């Protein structure tokens, strides 16, 4: 087995799990994070007590707050919140070689415009091969060894094969796709509909309602994807339907938890404080609302959620106010 040097930027639950998966295949992993105290704790106890206290980490994983430690990496996986992505990418640029594979595992969009994380990497690293990891990946379940799968998307087949070898094992399956834009859009957009399903949960809505929100949400995602040049068929795979179902249905999802708080009557600020971690769907909602309006793409659930969360519209205890003015057609991937 060829041992590789892999760096994971971001010491949250998802970054920690990716480092763990890479180490299981014999790779040496640098797990970078800003928090020096957490670095010291991980290196001493072999556990990330803050985010995944149940997962024992291999001695092949070295936590670090020194970006220079990524210098000899064969692959660098970016796994920081989208708000910090551009800054961390710029910080890493002094130490990344042109031969390194660069992977984004961050689900979200940049506040300004509609830049996905892979597009930021393309801007900063025009000579590198770039890929996207996305799928129904709840870190806690993967840490428990429960059967899970993800997608590595890139136009570089060699990169895809490399990531499959680095991360795959008996309980974590990695599948390939050549539509990175569609895969990444699926991972970002589904957070919006997880909030909607959370609201339905908080209102004690039935399973029929949850299924309706997911399916109508998938249609909205497909229309926007098609308009922006992605392949809407990508959304029928793990990075689309798979991730949508998992995130919308799971109480472990922060976006779902936030929505449930809103459905139960908490204010937006109260819900944010209760969750206490980044809720990617909130920022994505604002960006997607803007681009859907500019491109005249019909997204009724996005419209309704935006009014409730950012304009103070009253939910009035009714899930109808989340579904909004729905379009008549059942399946439509064009606007």
- The domain ranges of the chain are 5-178, 181-323
pLDDT for 319: 78
Looking at the annotation, which residues are catalytic?
Answer: 190
Tokens standing for residue 99: 């031969």
Highest mean pLDDT among 23-37, 201-215, 242-256, 278-292: 23-37
Pick the more confident residue, 236 or 278: 236
Whose CA is closest to 246, among 201, 289, 197? Answer: 197
Q: How far is the C-alpha of 124 from the C-alpha of 306, rounded, in Å?
A: 32
Pick the more confident residue, 115 or 1: 115
Q: Provide the angle, in degrees to the nearest 10, between the axes of the packed helices 82-92 and 280-295.
A: 100
Whether residue 20 contacts residue 61, with contact meaning beta carbons closer than 8 Å, is answered with yes
40-44, 148-152, 312-316: least confidently modelled range: 312-316
Burial 208-245 (b: 16+ CB within 10 A, else e): ebbebbbebbbbbbbbbbbbeebbbebbebbbbbbbbb
Output the DSSP codes for 245-305. Answer: HHHHH-TT-HHHHHHHHHHTT--HHHHHHHH-S--HHHHHHHHHHHHHHHHT---HHHHHH
pLDDT for 328: 55
pLDDT for 333: 56
pLDDT for 334: 54
**pLDDT over 70 percentage in the chain:** 96
pLDDT for 163: 98
- The mean pLDDT of the chain is 92
Each residue's pLDDT tens digit, 8-31: 999 999 999 999 999 999 999 999
The CATH label, of 1.10.1040.10, 1.20.272.10, 3.40.50.300, 1.10.10.10, for the domain at 181-323 is 1.10.1040.10
Whose CA is closest to 34, among 62, 9, 5, 16? Answer: 9
Q: How far is the C-alpha of 185 from the C-alpha of 174, rounded, in Å?
A: 18
Each residue's pLDDT tens digit, 73-110: 999 999 999 889 999 999 999 999 999 999 999 998 88
Kindly give the residue spans of alpha helices, DSSP state H, lying in the chain. Answer: 13-24, 36-45, 82-92, 117-124, 139-143, 157-167, 180-202, 207-227, 243-249, 254-263, 268-275, 280-295, 300-310, 320-323
pLDDT for 326: 62
Each residue's pLDDT tens digit, 29-53: 999 999 999 999 999 999 999 999 9
Residue 153 pairs in a beta bridge with: 132, 177
Q: Which fold has domain 5-178?
A: Rossmann fold (3.40.50)
Whether residue 46 contacts residue 57, with contact meaning beta carbons closer than 8 Å, is answered with yes
Pick the more confident residue, 328 or 153: 153
Whose CA is closest to 222, among 330, 122, 125? Answer: 330
């Amino acid at each position: 087995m060829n041992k590789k040097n892999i760096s994971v930027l971001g010491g949250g639950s998802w970054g920690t799990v990716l480092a763990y998966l890479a180490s299981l295949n014999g790779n040496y992993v640098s797990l970078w994070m800003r928090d020096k105290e957490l670095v010291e704790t991980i290196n001493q106890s072999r556990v990330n007590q803050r985010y995944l206290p149940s997962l024992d980490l291999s001695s092949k994983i070295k936590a670090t707050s020194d970006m220079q430690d990524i210098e000899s990496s064969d692959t660098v996986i970016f796994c920081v919140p989208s708000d910090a992505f551009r800054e961390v990418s710029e910080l890493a640029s002094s130490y990344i070689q042109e031969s390194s594979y660069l992977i984004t595992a961050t689900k979200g969009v940049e506040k300004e415009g509609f830049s996905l994380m892979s597009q930021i990497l393309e801007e900063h690293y025009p000579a590198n091969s770039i890929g996207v990891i996305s799928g129904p990946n709840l870190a806690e379940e993967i840490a428990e060894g429960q059967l899970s799968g993800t997608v590595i998307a890139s136009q570089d087949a060699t990169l895809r094969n490399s990531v499959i070898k680095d991360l795959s094992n008996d309980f974590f399956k990695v599948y390939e796709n050549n539509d990175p834009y569609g895969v990444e859009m699926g991972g970002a957009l589904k957070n919006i509909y997880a909030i909607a399903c959370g609201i339905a949960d908080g209102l004690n809505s039935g399973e029929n309602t949850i299924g309706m929100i997911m399916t109508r949400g998938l249609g909205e995602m497909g229309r926007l994807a098609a308009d922006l040049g992605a392949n809407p068929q990508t959304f029928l795979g793990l990075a689309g339907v798979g991730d949508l179902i998992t995130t919308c249905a799971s109480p472990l999802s922060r976006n779902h938890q936030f929505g449930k708080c809103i459905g139960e009557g908490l204010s937006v600020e109260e819900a944010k404080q209760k969750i206490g971690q980044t809720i990617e769907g909130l920022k994505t909602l604002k960006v997607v609302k803007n681009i859907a309006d500019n491109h005249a793409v019909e997204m009724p659930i996005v419209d309704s959620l935006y009014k409730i969360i950012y304009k103070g519209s009253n939910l009035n205890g009714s899930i109808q106010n989340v579904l909004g003015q729905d379009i008549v057609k059942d399946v439509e991937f064009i606007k």
